[in-house]
Amino acid sequence: MSFEKRYRQFYDNIYGFVKLCREEYDEILHDPYFLRLHNIKQMGLCHYVFPDALHTRYSHSLGVYSIMQKIIAAQEENYLDLFKLADDDKRSILLSALLHDVGHLPLSHTIEVALERFHEEDKEEEHSDPIEGIFENDQEIPIATKVEQKGSQFPNDNLRTEKVKLEDDTKLHEELGEYVITCTALKSKVEAKLDLNVNKIASGFKGITSEVDKEEAKQNPALVFARNFLHSQLDADRIDYLLRDASFSGVRSGAFDFDKLITEIRYDDEGNYGVNYSGIRAIEQFFMSRFAAYTQIVFNKKVHGLDYMAGDFYYRLLKLRQKGDLPSDIVIYSFKDIKAMLEKKPDDFLRFTDDYFHSLVQKVDDSNIDDYTIKQYVMLLKNRTPLKSVAYEEFFATDAEFKRRDSFISYLKNPENKEKLAHSAGVQYDDIIIPQKPLKVTIFDRSVDPISIFNGEKVNKNILDCEETLLNLIIDKKLYLQRIFTFDEDKQEKIKKAMTEMSRAFNKKGNF
């Protein structure tokens, strides 16, 4: 008698052994569009600064799958009478977790932000609404200054547009993920071989069920469950990337008590989700760890310098192509191009990985592009050298407090004022690099995804209504951070010296 295992398993360095149904393992994990994630690093170019941060979107996706398994298992074990999901719904949710990043672009969010920036400007020119990026994109806000010491198969045709227009708080890579699972061979594998609906899976990782009432929650609990635990402030995605990034980067401030948090997570048939009263401290630790991870890894000055440089490099190439100045042998993709690629030549998407970006840098280096900034970027990227940070601004405050502050760096965004600084420092105008939007990180946002506290049969629908939580002390507070960069140490010292003189006058007069 032949014996065949029902499950396959793999070993994850964070969670240990993780099981997958044999069909899912064979059909999804070996699919080329999922295997593509092996070639996209989770943290972009962060490994240039933190050498062991080499983990990929592939391992992260498996981690999110594992966490979703644990959340479902904990609900079934602890709240069997309340937690009622059909087997097919659970399978769909788990596939949403596994495939949530299948549409990611090279260098993870770096190219995504560049594409959003490019299309945002197009939309502004045509008086359209901007899309929401990786970080919140409010208007420019003044902040305090410090000088630093050294043919479509698309399932939802009504969503198709020539502009970047996303649904609810769906991110660009999530919309592309829907294209991947509906325009490629993945669709037949999911629907014909696994007998699941690709639209339902895409809805799970896109988070398009953000507005549901109690009746809908009872009628279709799977949709609400997927929204809460795949696309919220407390979701499997965030849980995994915090633990994984902390483990691989070596920056342990992003770690937290995972087992306690999973045990305390709770969900009910009215769509409320959150933690038990005894889990308040665990969820506080989770949010504070996320804040610490952003400030010490994502906002690290070298990581920021590399990330901005790579994104601005790609953005500038898109602008060159738009003006007809990009050599024909250099292939670059806009959001529309990527969608067209997935619709018409989906296999080309398999090569759109980190390797594509690095070969793009080499092709530009070999070309005759006569652009000072792009040439400087190419030299630094090839040498794995970050931009040099000249000055930074940061402020931890509410939006209202933030808007009331004067900012020297915001003042320097004006081209005339930036020209004055360049002249005073004896450098070129383009040697002064000022990202237009500040980085922001929110510890906890009261306006989205209220997290409930369960105390026996009583449900407090917002953790902020509990006086016991320290989240009340920091709610609505955000860390705003902005930097000025340049290309090398010589320019860094010149600009720093000129800025010091100019900032004295700025602080004295309030303006120039």
| DSSP state string for 304-330 | HHHHHHHHHHHHHHHHHHHHT-S-TT-
What is the number of structural domains in the chain? 1
Q: What percent of the chain has pLDDT over 90?
A: 59
Residue 455 forms part of a structural domain = no
414 lies in some domain:
no
In a domain, 208, yes or no: yes
Q: What is the CATH number of the domain that holds 309?
A: 1.10.3210.10
User: Terminal CA-to-CA distance of the chain, rounded, Å?
Assistant: 87
The top-scoring range by mean pLDDT among 133-147, 224-238, 254-268, 324-338 is 324-338
pLDDT at 164 over 50: no
Residue 401 within a domain: no
**More confident call, 131 vs 366:** 366
**8 A C-beta contact, residue 18 and residue 69:** yes
Report the percentage of the chain scoring pLDDT > 70.
85
Query: H-helix or E-strand containing 460?
Result: strand 458-460
Mean pLDDT calculated for residue range 427-455:
88
Q: What is the pLDDT of residue 26?
A: 86
Token representation of residue 180: 């991947």
Q: Has residue 450 been placed in a domain?
A: no
The verdict on residue 477 lying in a domain is no
Residues 234 and 258: their CA atoms lie apart, in Å, by 12
Lowest mean pLDDT among 44-53, 57-66, 331-340, 434-443: 434-443
DSSP letter string over 405-430? S--HHHHHTSHHHHHHHHHHHTS-GG
3-class DSSP state of 282: helix
Above 90 in pLDDT, residue 316?
Answer: yes
* Structural domain includes residue 409: no
Residue 387 confidence class, pLDDT cut points 50, 70, 90: very high
Q: Quick check: is 484 in a domain?
A: no
Provide the pLDDT confidence category of residue 185 given band limits of 50, 70 and 90. Answer: very high
Q: Is the pTM of this model over 0.85?
A: yes
Residue 168 pLDDT > 90: no
pLDDT band at 443 (very low <50, low <70, confident <90, very high): confident
Q: In what order do the strands lie in the sheet with 388-397?
A: 146-147, 388-397, 478-486, 439-442
The least confident of 41-55, 83-97, 169-183, 443-457 is: 443-457
- pLDDT given for residue 211 in this prediction: 46
- Rounded Cα distance between 504 and 494, Å, is 16
Average pLDDT, the chain: 85
Q: What is the pLDDT of residues 269-288, one digit of tens each?
A: 777 889 999 999 999 999 99
Which whole number is the average pLDDT over 417-438? 96
Give yes or no for a contact between 239 and 286, defined as CB atoms under 8 angstroms apart: yes
| Structural domain boundaries, residue 276 | 1-136+161-385
Reduced DSSP (H G I as helix, E B as strand, rest coil) percent helix, strand, coil of the chain, to 5: 55, 10, 35
pLDDT of residue 4: 61
pLDDT at 162: 34
Residue 134: closest CA among 160, 156, 162, 166? 166
Tell me, what's the pLDDT at 231? 85
Full DSSP string of 225-274 = HHHHHHSSSS-HHHHHHHHHHHHHH--GGG---HHHHHHHEEE-TTS-EE
